[in-house]
Amino acid sequence: MTLFQPFTLPNGVSLRNRFVMAPMTTYAGLDNGDVSNEELTYYRERANGVGMLITACAHVAANGQAFPGQIAAHDDAFIPSLRRIAQTIQQGGAKAVLQIHHGGRQARKALVPNEDIVSASAVVGSHGELAREATTAEVDALVDAYAQATRRAITAGFDGVEIHGANTYLIQQFFSGFTNKRTDKYGGTLEKRLTFPLAVAEAVLNMKKAHASEDFIIGYRFSPEEAEDDGITMDDTAVLLARLQQLPLDYMHISLGDYRSTTHRYVKGEVNRIREVRALLRDDLPIIGVGSIYEAHDAEEAHALGADFVALGRALLIEPQWVEKVKAGEGVATTMDASNPQAIPPKMFDMLRSHAGWIPGL
């Protein structure tokens, strides 16, 4: 299978194969934002097969925390914790990529200083908590927060960072007409709604220039569409991708629940999202495809649709050695055995169990 062959990213870094561990929040960090030993064990079990492992999302500002037990990257005090994560992953032979995140309206009041959550505009998050509109100066500082988290990732020895521009978090909130009703330079027209995502990407790239070598990997994750009337359409995403691909990024990562999913609102009608994104991007800018890839034939199908890399989330929860097993021609389980947590931290396992149907078998 081609997916087992090495791949060289635009920055010249070679990955041993084209399988990636998808970023997954563990809910199992320590209360102060440091990584826990349980999380390190969880990563250790999963770092031996994939070419690149993207960590759980780490918040870049104290007011960006969206989950209990989220690992933090918003202060230099977290560098030793970040270093432990990077080293654990690298010991398995995978490239270690830190996902940098801010929850925006999805941050939780109980988890942030003064219960003060901010977004592009005054909007309610999916937990029913109202965020206030960040001032222009605060937004400028948020751009810098992603850059500072990148500097910490570099210092901690990570191979790269992934900018979390997906899954309704802060960057997506700025890009979306549903959540961004601002009237300053960061909002209004589609062009102005691009300002924040592009400023974050540029700030992260500038930090690389200042503190890292060309080897440092920078990827960007995005969600292609939103359901809301004034939310993101695939036509909006095509504009975002046209702009992002002018920057020296190393990969784009589409966030999907299913690799077979098709566009809902697009000038070209209903087409496979991975295939379309592949067609929209420069040939030499790879994309990571993802979503409900449980068996080897799913991975091959996603690859055939245009995914240069294939990310595995739930499959690696169920089968930590998925890549090694498939490479050896062995079968893989596709449902989770509730009596065998596979080194998943107990808090994460409890969370998975409490969401019926999230993981097949649980």
Question: According to the binding rule CB under 6 A, does residue 143 interact with ligand FMN?
Answer: no
Question: According to the binding rule CB under 6 A, does residue 312 interact with ligand FMN?
Answer: yes
Instruction: State which of positions 253-272 bind ligand FMN (CB under 6 A).
Output: 255, 257
Question: According to the binding rule CB under 6 A, does residue 49 interact with ligand FMN?
Answer: no
Residue 21 or 142 with smaller CB distance to ligand FMN: 21
Residue 134 or 362 with smaller CB distance to ligand FMN: 362
Burial label for 140, CB within 10 Å (0-12, 13-18, 19+), is middle
Distance CA 202, CA 269 (A): 32
CB of 166 to ligand FMN, least distance (A): 5
Instruction: State which of positions 63-82 bind ligand FMN (CB under 6 A).
Output: none
Q: Is beta strand 287-290 parallel, antiparallel or unpaired with respect to 160-165? A: unpaired
Q: Could you identify the residue written with the tokens 């596979």?
A: 342
Question: According to the binding rule CB under 6 A, does residue 167 interact with ligand FMN?
Answer: yes
Residue 49 or 187 with smaller CB distance to ligand FMN: 49
Number of residues that bind ligand FMN (CB under 6 A): 21
- 3-class state of residue 216 by DSSP: coil
Distance CA 302, CA 20 (A): 13
Angle (CA) 149 195 170, round 5°: 50
CB of 60 to ligand FMN, least distance (A): 13
- 3-class state of residue 220 by DSSP: strand
Question: According to the binding rule CB under 6 A, does residue 299 interact with ligand FMN?
Answer: no
CB of 214 to ligand FMN, least distance (A): 25
Among 118, 249, 285, 315, the residue binding ligand FMN under the rule CB under 6 A is: 315
Question: According to the binding rule CB under 6 A, does residue 160 interact with ligand FMN?
Answer: no
Instruction: State which of positions 186-225 bind ligand FMN (CB under 6 A).
Output: 221
Cβ–Cβ < 8 Å for 286, 254: no
Cβ–Cβ < 8 Å for 119, 103: no
CB of 319 to ligand FMN, least distance (A): 11
Distance CA 87, CA 80 (A): 11
Among 61, 123, 166, 277, the residue binding ligand FMN under the rule CB under 6 A is: 166
Q: From the CB of residue 6, how many other CB atoms can be counted at a distance below 10 Å?
A: 10
**How does DSSP classify residue 111?**
G
Residue 207 or 352 with smaller CB distance to ligand FMN: 352
Nearest residue to ligand FMN, scored by beta-carbon proximity: 313
Burial label for 132, CB within 10 Å (0-12, 13-18, 19+), is middle
Any catalytic annotation for residue 169?
yes
Instruction: State which of positions 11-30 bind ligand FMN (CB under 6 A).
Output: 22-25
Choose the binding region for ligand FMN from 5-13, 73-81, 230-238, 310-318 (rule: CB under 6 A): 310-318
Distance CA 101, CA 295 (A): 29
Q: Which residue of the set 169, 220, 259, 294 is catalytic?
A: 169
Which helix (H) or strand (E) covers residue 312, if one does?
strand 309-312
Q: Could you identify the residue written with the tokens 């605060």?
A: 138
CB of 103 to ligand FMN, least distance (A): 10
Choose the binding region for ligand FMN from 126-134, 187-195, 280-288, 311-319 (rule: CB under 6 A): 311-319
- 3-class state of residue 130 by DSSP: strand
Distance CA 21, CA 225 (A): 23
Instruction: Point out the residues that are catalytic.
Output: 169
Q: Which residues bind ligand FMN (CB under 6 A)?
A: 22-25, 56-57, 99, 164, 166-167, 221, 255, 257, 290-293, 312-315
